[in-house]
Amino acid sequence: MYAVVDHDLLALQEMREVVRKAKQAQLKYMSFSQEQVDRIVKAVADAAYAHSYELAVLAVKETGMGVIEHKKMKNDVASKAVYESIKDEKTVGIIRKDKVKGMVEIAAPFGVVAAIIPTTNPTSTAIFKTLISLKTRNAIVASPHPYAVKCTTEALKICEKAATRAGAPKGLIGWLSFASMEATQALMKDKDVNLILATGGGGLVKAAYSSGKPAYGVGPGNVPVYIEKTVKIKKAVSMIVDSKTFDYGTICATEQSIVVDQEIATDVILELKQNGAYFLNPEEKKKMEKVISPVPGKVNPAIVGKSPVTIAELAGISIDETIRLFVAEETEIGKHVPFSLEKLSPIFALYRAENTADAKRICNQLLDLGGRGHSLSIHTENEHVAKEFSLDMPVSRIFVNTLSTMGAVGGTTGFDPSFTLGCGSFGGNITSDNITARHLMNIKRMAYGIKEVSIPKKGIMNPDRSTALLQESAQQNQIVEEVIREMGLNENYQAADIARIVVQVVKQFNKD
């Protein structure tokens, strides 16, 4: 007879052991100096960067999503770019002094960080979360997506090996090797987990927020891109197509719908075709709708991160390999409208706007469908329009004349390099920032007294006396006003002198 193996039980047992080791390691790591921490972080970043291509190959092979060269770029950003952005940040001991305010700020780690890793960016997100956790003297326990366990685990093993060689305590970087939703849920609620970094589907993010622990979660994208009439069409369309097709659309900041001013729509469509866009006719559009969303309101996971050729086969449409993406003109927005959803694949909806106000209306409706708080892209030569959208749109990031995918993670903008993009209160998140190292530490503040205060003694101001003083003040003001009127003086003329005389008269009157 064969023993029956309870997969979920094994996953739970593993999770508890990994968290236990992480806690012990983190307590030791607490005593490390800034120099020791920085040496470990650099070693991890260098190792991950050196294995960037290898990990990209593993990710594409295991998940069936994306493009190897693009996955490598993501790994490069997650390792090298993230490291460069945090390497000089103080995260140990006293990190700031303000002599004027008499304040000293001291960094303290959270403890053990539970990191949920998505299938769309399985190696880059693991590297990124490991670096920012170690930089802030936290331990990390990662939960890979069930469809990306091998590649995520391999990325973490590379990081762990480099960290221990550089002097990190063993167990500081841990992971769940069993794909179990139950274990992931238990990880987020474990008593020794102090913070959650949740990057994944809406269900996981909600679970993170309801775990009772501090959590950074992210919302969906569904990013609109507005092409305004003053735009340089050729350049804008080229960037939009490059951005949309990057890693077959697996970054949450990828543009999902084009909103274009009516007066330039014909030229934009022509340029899209020149850049490899395949415009679906009405019959093909219906076929594609069924592939995008077989169940109303839900995107088919079979299209996420897939090539145009693969998606065309699913839809029964014949295309050649020069086609880079699909576009369908659309007028409606809603859960029942597949092209208006966040598709995470090389598929665009195209909306025509009568003017800027109409474009804002369309963008707002798309964001309300599932992208509030995330990002919006705009291509324009009109600075006023760019500012207007930035002021009015309920998003945390507005990209102007750049690739949304690259702009979001700091590749072409000044945003912090990050693979966890907060959506603020618009999207139900605690922050609108690109999450980075500074979000993973507590700041303690020591403050010296710099102001003198006089504390009144109890009973010096009783209610009856306060009322009498108010009445006396009102009485004095009334007498002053009457004296000024009777003497025919200007209101401000000798008012102070008259007031002093009145006070003396009132005091004498009260004595009598």
Q: What residue spans of 327-427 are helical by DSSP H?
A: 356-370, 383-392, 404-408
Closest C-alpha among 127, 130, 85, 119 to residue 199 = 119
| Cα angle 342-347-351, degrees, rounded to a multiple of 5 | 80
| Model pLDDT for residues 291-329, shown as the tens digit of each residue | 999 999 999 999 999 999 999 999 999 999 999 999 999
Determine the average pLDDT of the residues in 53-73.
98
- Within 10 A of 31 (CB to CB), how many other CB atoms are there? 9
pLDDT at position 50: 98
Mean pLDDT of 17-37: 98
Residue 62's pLDDT is 98
Percent of the chain past pLDDT 90, that is, above it, reads: 80
Position 500 pLDDT exceeds 70? no
pLDDT at 428 over 90: no
Q: What is the pLDDT of residue 499?
A: 62
| CB contact at 8 A, 404 and 225 | yes
Instruction: Determine what percent of the chain is predicted with pLDDT higher than 70.
Output: 89
Residue of 383, 380, 387 whose CA lies nearest to 402: 380
> Tens digits of per-residue pLDDT, 394-415?
999 999 999 999 999 999 999 9
Which tokens belong to 276? 């490899």
Give me the pLDDT at residue 4, please. 47
User: Under a CB-based contact definition with an 8 Å cutoff, are residues 379 and 227 in contact?
Assistant: yes
pLDDT of residue 1: 43
State the chain's mean pLDDT as an integer: 92
- Of 106-110, 200-204, 357-361, 449-453, the range with the lowest mean pLDDT is 200-204
pLDDT digits (tens, 9 = 90+) for 134-184: 999 999 999 999 999 999 999 999 999 999 999 999 999 999 998 788 999
Instruction: Point out the residues that are catalytic.
Output: 252
Please, are residues 195 and 230 in contact by the beta-carbon 8 Å criterion? no
Instruction: Determine the residue type at 260.
Output: V
| CA distances in angstroms from 273 to 223, 352, 377, listed in the order given | 21, 17, 20
Of 442-451, 479-488, 489-498, the one with minimum mean pLDDT is: 489-498
Kindly state the average pLDDT of the residues 120-125. Answer: 96
Q: What is the pLDDT of residue 5?
A: 57
Burial class (CB in 10 A: 0-12, 13-18, 19+), 156: buried
Is the pLDDT at 496 greater than 90? The verdict is: no
Amino acid making up residue 80: K
The pLDDT of residue 510 is above 60: no
The arrangement of strands across the sheet holding 93-98 comes to: 93-98, 103-109, 441-447
CA 225 to chain centre: 19
| Greater model confidence, 467 or 436 | 436
pLDDT value, residue 2: 47
Contact 187, 15 (CB under 8 A): yes
Q: At what angle do helices 68-76 and 52-63 cross, to 10 degrees?
A: 130
The C-alpha atoms of residue 120 and residue 145 are separated, in whole angstroms, by 9
Q: Is the pLDDT of residue 495 over 80?
A: no
Q: What is the mean pLDDT of residues 268-288?
A: 98
Q: Is the pLDDT of residue 195 over 50?
A: yes
pLDDT band at residue 58 under the 50/70/90 scheme: very high
pLDDT tens per residue, range 412-425: 999 999 999 999 99
At residue 483, the pLDDT reads 62
The tokens for 307 are 């090539």
- One-character DSSP codes across 455-483: -PPTTSS-HHHHHHHHHHHHHHHHHHHHH
Helix (H) or strand (E) holding 104, with range, is: strand 103-109
Region 385-396: what's the mean pLDDT?
97
Q: In what order do the strands lie in the sheet with 223-227?
A: 277-279, 325-329, 347-353, 255-261, 223-227, 373-379, 395-400
| Residue-wise pLDDT tens digits, 465-478 | 656 656 666 666 67
Under the banding of pLDDT at 50, 70 and 90, the label for residue 508 is low
pLDDT of residue 7: 75
